Amino acid sequence: MKLRVRDKIPGVRAFAIRALSRFVNDTANSDILDLFLEQLALEQNADVRKMIVLSLPPSTATSQVIIDCTLDVSESVRKAAYCVLANKFPLQSLSIKLRTVILQRGLADRSVAVSKECFKLLRDEWLTKCCNGDPLELLKFLDVETYESVGETVMQTLLKADLVKLLNGASIQQYISSGDAEDGNSMHCAPSIQLIEAEASLYWRTVCQHLQSEAHAKGSDAAATMGTEAEVYAAEASDKNDLLEKILPATVDDYIDLVRAHINAGSIHRFTCRQLLLLGAMFNYSDATNRKSASAFLQELLHKPPEHEIDNEGNVVVIGDGLSFGGDNDWAQAVARLARKVHAALGEFEEVVLAIIEELAQPCRERTADYVQWMHCLSLIGLLLRHAKSMRLLQGKAIEPDELLQSLLLAGAKHAHLDVQRIAVRCLGLFGLLERKPRAELLKQLRISYIKGPHPISVEACKALIDLGMWHGPQEVDRVLNPHTSSKITSEKKSFSPVNFSDLERDLDVDTLDLLFGGFENDDWADSLTGNEDECVHAVLGEGFAKILLLSDNYPSIPPSLHPVILSKLIYLYFRDVSDHLQRLKQCLSVFFEHYPCLCANHKSCISKAFIPVMRSMWPGIFGNSGGSSFMVSQMRKRAVQASRFMLQMMQVPLYVKETQPESENGSTEMPQVIDRCAEVPFDCGEEGLALRIAIEVTSFHSKKTAAEKSYVSALCRILALLQFRLSEQGPIKLMRRLLSRTVECVSTEKDLVKELNRLAEHLMTADRQPDQEFLQDEVNLILGKLEIDFNLDLDGSVAMPQTPAAASTRTRVSRRRVRIEDDDFDEYSPAFTVPATQQTVRSRSQRASKTVAMSKMSATRSVRIDEIEEQEEEDDSDVTSEDSDEY
């Protein structure tokens, strides 16, 4: 059975695993578990992987493996993983991290069957069996303070399934006990507050929000219908509102007392405070008394300085992210939401907040404020700018926008303390977004902070410059800095201008996009910030330029000729080693690569033009970017191969076209369609153009190549053999036939590769409808001109392919080694989705290699002779094989 686990037939492997599962729990057969885990990582068949998952026993060694299978590409494997987790792993046996990962992935799975399986685990096993049907008890197993989004998702799922029952009149009012005055006086005394636990605060917040949304939905249904049906909906909405009123504190004053008590209890109850602040938006503040009480409470919140402490060296340290009001973005959003609800009149929110800013700004203007006061004032300005409707609403208030910019934001950006600089730069970006046209002094300061500031400051300035460039347009931003710049779009620009970051005097002459793109050349900006592994300038630039490509139709001032340059940089960022620790960037780019080919009509042209630059930049030892150990060099080349296969897959994605047809009689329009426009793509934007670029790149190398160059050329030729030509493109077919003869000469020592190129040549010869027709130089120039390539082609040369040398017996062992390495590079390191033609090519090559090995083993004397000769050849070619052994 152990031997049959590796059988070539998937069904045999599955039955062998099923048979061995009877012995996997036996301690004497621990090797069976090791075999299962090893085979699971290598198995390509989904049914076999499913059988392995179902056969794994519950243990600490298998829990993580099974949870990893919840990300499997196969729906059946993911479903099996949740089934095993439900039946074999009790809730208490899993760590908090694993519990949250299981629910986060399962409840959001794209497959309905998988999400139902995860919901079954949540309902039947965890909620019913482990928590006696109490959702509040279940939340205690999930650490909602750390994994708030997971707890919220769980509660929303249970509420939609009607699995949350409010028993014995439970409500938030149970935490508030009102007191009576002495001597029978009926005057209201301060209530006695019972502090709420974190799980209970999240529980009640989600319950109240669910009831409010249900009431609104039923009310909308009642308004949209008539008669008895409308009455039923209205009654249901009334019931939801009545239940909500029973849960919430009876009055606004009671609610304020509840929140204030938790604030005074210290930072340990900060999570509960924020949940309660979110409940504040559910009260009605149309009553003047309620609005007055809530406004006074907001004044307390906004005047409260950021939490800070003194370290061992006597320095004052502000607690939090150092950017948001209150120390974190969630708290700032909760405060702003409550303030917006209390001060709902037009311009009232801006007026109230600016009055407080005027008061806090006085010591800052007088330069007597410490850095904590600066941060308090600037964080409140950031809260205002983020939630203000327009710059017009800021005018005529306690402090004017001009004074806000000059005396606070620009001054804060030049402050000696780095935390003050950082938050001031963030506010400068928000200020520029509210303006109709950004100011020159604002843009100058952002550029200085981007170029000369420390890494955290450069990150914030980079974000601000990208946001302003996308909001106002890069051409408008450049015109503000240099009014004499030409308004004409430079469509001939094919590359970004180099930037000298040490020369600030020429700062204004550099275009915004050139300045930003030049940041990729600063290697120090590739390192992540301390305490935040997902923050660095390269990550911000990568996300920004990805958005620019996706929204390229909105920026006509950016020449389309720059799109391939941007795309090649993004692909390089995605596959390079430095992005391994930047998970946010990788996630952003993975989503970008998924949507870019479907949404952008010129994606094939961009990919075709970006292909060679990507391969050059990722292939060390050829273009001056070599370095590191041989292992690292090998890994870089494998990533280059993976990137090339990834780009080929992107070229085959059909275009998403939104039809703009008139509405039909019933008022509906045609649904958007995915249309394959392969036939409409010109050759320079399709696989023909990519093939010609690769062939010209290969032929540009001299006959004597280094080991790295041989490996690079070999990789390009293998990709070239996968590309297809359309019969309608007769010109590129004729040109490719002439280039192929020179291409084969560059890889003449690799027999299998020569055979693949010969097959391509035979296909092109068949596709050439007029093989005897003379190919003119004007036609060549026209094709090369569309490809934007300068290349001299000898039209007098023959199109006949060179004769393939006879296979020498002395190279059998080397050939066998190369086949193995090809499988490593093109299968193990290829993405999950691969080109079908590639799999067929590799499979046929492996079969030929297996046949060669079998025939060689049949002759013992011949194999001895081969070993003797190969030992001599390896001594002669040691400089090549030593570097090329990990490649093709």
Mean pLDDT in residue range 440-452: 94
Give me the pLDDT at residue 800, please. 73
Mean pLDDT of the residues in the chain: 83
Query: DSSP alpha helices (H): ranges in 551-582?
Result: 563-575
Q: What is the 3-state secondary structure (H, E, C) of 700-711?
A: CCCCCCCHHHHH
**In the chain, helix, strand, coil percent, each to 5?**
65, 0, 30
pLDDT in tens, 341-359: 999 999 999 999 999 999 9
Give me the pLDDT at residue 860, please. 39
Give me the pLDDT at residue 862, please. 37
CA-based nearest residue to 84, from 24, 38, 134, 142 = 24
What is the DSSP code (8-state) at residue 127? I
- The most confident of 580-584, 700-704, 714-718, by mean pLDDT: 714-718
Find the angle CA(199)-CA(201)-CA(203) to the nearest 5 degrees: 70
| Main-chain phi, psi angles of 105, to 5 degrees | -75, -45
Give me the pLDDT at residue 653, please. 73
- Give the dihedral sign, CA 307/312/316/318: negative
Q: Is residue 842 pLDDT above 60, yes or no? A: no
Give me the pLDDT at residue 601, please. 74
Q: 380 or 797: which carries more pLDDT confidence?
A: 380
Mean pLDDT in residue range 302-319: 88
Mean pLDDT in residue range 511-536: 85
Give me the pLDDT at residue 490, please. 59
Alpha-carbon radius of gyration of the chain: 34
Q: Is residue 506 pLDDT above 70, yes or no? A: no
pLDDT in tens, 695-705: 999 988 877 88
| 600-619 CB burial, b ≥16 within 10 A, e <16 | beebbbbbbbbbbbbbbbbb
pLDDT band at 546 (very low <50, low <70, confident <90, very high): very high
In whole angstroms, what is the distance from residue 514 CA to residue 549 CA?
15
Q: How far is CA 490 from the centre of its chain?
A: 32
Q: Is residue 619 pLDDT above 90, yes or no? A: no
Mean pLDDT in residue range 295-299: 96
Q: Is residue 881 pLDDT above 70, yes or no? A: no
Query: DSSP alpha helices (H): ranges in 658-706?
Result: 687-699
Query: DSSP alpha helices (H): ranges in 135-197?
Result: 135-139, 148-160
Return the structure tokens found at 234: 């209205």
Contacts of 427 (CB under 8 A, 6+ apart): 378, 381, 382, 385, 409, 412
Q: Is residue 504 pLDDT above 70, yes or no? A: no
Mean pLDDT in residue range 304-314: 87
Give me the pLDDT at residue 637, please. 81
* β-bridge partners, 673: 657
Q: Is residue 402 pLDDT above 60, yes or no? A: yes
Return the structure tokens found at 775: 């190919």
| In the chain, % of residues over pLDDT 90 | 52
Range in 178-187, 592-601, 608-617 the model is least confident about = 178-187
Give me the pLDDT at residue 830, please. 36
| Identity of the residue numbered 885 | S
pLDDT band at 771 (very low <50, low <70, confident <90, very high): confident
> What distances in angstroms separate CA 839 from CA 46, 48, 747, 846, one per listed residue?
17, 20, 22, 11
Q: 332 or 654: which carries more pLDDT confidence?
A: 332
Give me the pLDDT at residue 582, please. 77
Q: Is residue 407 pLDDT above 90, yes or no? A: yes
CB burial of residue 881 (10 Å; 0-12, 13-18, 19+): middle
Q: Is residue 564 pLDDT above 60, yes or no? A: yes
Give me the pLDDT at residue 494, please. 82
pLDDT band at 466 (very low <50, low <70, confident <90, very high): very high
| Identity of the residue numbered 349 | F
pLDDT in tens, 211-263: 999 999 999 999 999 999 999 999 999 999 999 999 999 999 999 999 999 99
Q: Is residue 413 pLDDT above 90, yes or no? A: yes
Give me the pLDDT at residue 824, please. 40
Give me the pLDDT at residue 617, please. 86
| In the chain, % of residues over pLDDT 70 | 82
Q: Is residue 588 pLDDT above 60, yes or no? A: yes
CA-based nearest residue to 464, from 480, 479, 442, 485 = 442
Give me the pLDDT at residue 312, please. 83
Mean pLDDT in residue range 166-185: 72
Return the structure tokens found at 373: 């006061």
Contact predicate 174/248, CB 8 Å: no
DSSP 777-796: HHHHHHHHHHHT------TT
Give me the pLDDT at residue 777, please. 85
